[in-house]
Structure 1
């Protein structure tokens, strides 16, 4: 995998947006990737998964993170990485991901550049294949907000009043260390997750949890009740300011689930998701 140090330096130095933004018509790919058991165990511990032979659906996302960084910090990528907001993520598990299966081949591309009422959106799509067969697909949607792009914050549920938060199935106390702990296992060392001082520079009163940690924690809560193949969609709403007390709710929907995470005190949503 590419070294993340030079990629973070490239991200920090990048300024400006391409005059006529266009996504690169290429993939960043790497084959022969095997799972490091120690890293997997550390990831499972941080996110709440049990240790078992099947990989969590969110785990390949962190394995392929350096490839996504390579694509998104390259000169032909139209936007600075530090100006992008991760607003949604879809993972398709097309076949159970077994620890002892053949090595994985990853490919990352950007697609679907499109206007949004707060700026511009795009998708970064990552696939994992075993013996030439795609077994896992991840689509991360990013927003590049423009000066005229409306209110501040991350993903939005729109202008209408939010529905009351459902009664939680569980209440989670999320310690401040979740930020640096997840940064260590994911490679995503954005300072808004690890430094209170730098989080304030970016407009947050405290460090915030990674959105993909929140998604993984939800799937860990549903572990053992998920089908062998499925799609899990989430929309990232308000950031989880660390430390936090949040409510997790989940209800069955056919053979899947609707789930969410909300602030335990105010009921304001942090994440909404569905498994189908």
Structure 2
């Protein structure tokens, strides 16, 4: 398995240019499951950046990183992987279906991190081909966090294929969230994810949306921050979310969750609960 190592996180400006270029050309070859691994052996958290991330997602200050924050640190490596000539799918137009994070222990906010990213094997889906981008974060040589980002490359697909989905829970809304039109731009500034579908009405319309949509990983982070305010998250847990319907901005949505000893189920609905935007489940380890 070839490995590409970096002294610093790759710059997002050049990566977005590569992403556009990669969308316009065909892959040079079909990779196998032993594809490219990207590694950032030494990464330190910019504390001002962390503060900005907490503010836009709702996580309170504390000695440990928000559980979703390492995804932000791995994101430039995700873009680098998807814009590499060996990557078999066109990166623009890929749909984010789900995200699963496992935290094995809290990560101190001042820790030096080592990040590895690679892609997993593809599998058929009713609407195309699904694959995962896998991220691991280590501290002092010990893996403490991993992330599975599940993506769909749309094509005619396989109608008989199984779509892996979380069951829909029966939840009562606990809070209304009023989401402003600039939320996508605010989260983009904190996350680096400047996909045009999240920024402005006109740029989103160019990709078929009536107006800009919220980032899925913002929705996951905001949900977990809300749960954490109700009851502290466990030190070790796995949390998965499925992204169901785009969350248009501006909008008013409802957040619902139920905490039991076995699991925490949560969801984000539209203002009258006729549309499900996100389904999630957290299970302590």
**TM-score, normalization: structure 2?**
0.88
Name the structure 1 match of 2:258. Answer: 251
Shift of 1:157: 6.6
2:207 is equivalent to residue 202 of structure 1: yes
Q: Which residue of 2 aligns with 1:10?
A: 18
Partner of 1:81, secondary structure, is: coil
Say whether 1:131 aligns with 2:131. no
Alignment equivalent of 1:178, drawn from 171, 174, 183: 183
The residue aligned with 1:262 is: 269
Deviations 1:163-190 (A, max 9, x none): 7973201111111111000001100000
Structure 2: segments with no counterpart, 5+ residues: 1-8
What CA distance in whole angstroms lies between the structure 2 residues aligned with 1:148 and 1:125? 23
- Give the equivalent residue in structure 2 for 1:25: 35
Which aligned segments of 4 or more residues in structure 1 are displaced greater than 6 angstroms? Answer: 155-158, 162-165
Tell me the TM-score normalised to structure 1 length.
0.91
With over 3 angstroms needed to count, the CA separation of the structure-2 counterparts of 1:259 and 1:271, relative to structure 1, is same
- CA change 1:164–1:256 in 2 (3 A) is closer
- What is aligned with 1:97? 107
In 1, the alpha carbon distance for the partners of 2:164 and 2:109 equals 37
Aligned pairs (5 A) from 1:1-276: 1-14=9-22, 15-18=24-27, 21-23=30-32, 25-101=35-111, 103-147=112-156, 166-223=171-228, 224-276=231-283
Q: How far apart, in 2, do the equivalents of 1:3 and 1:157 lie?
A: 34
RMSD (Å) for aligned C-alpha atoms: 2.2
The number of residues matched between the two structures is 268
How far apart, CA to CA, are the structure 1 residues paired with 2:86 and 2:97?
22
Quick one: distance in 1 between partners of 2:194 and 2:62?
Answer: 27
**Structure 1 unaligned residues grouped into runs of 5+:** none
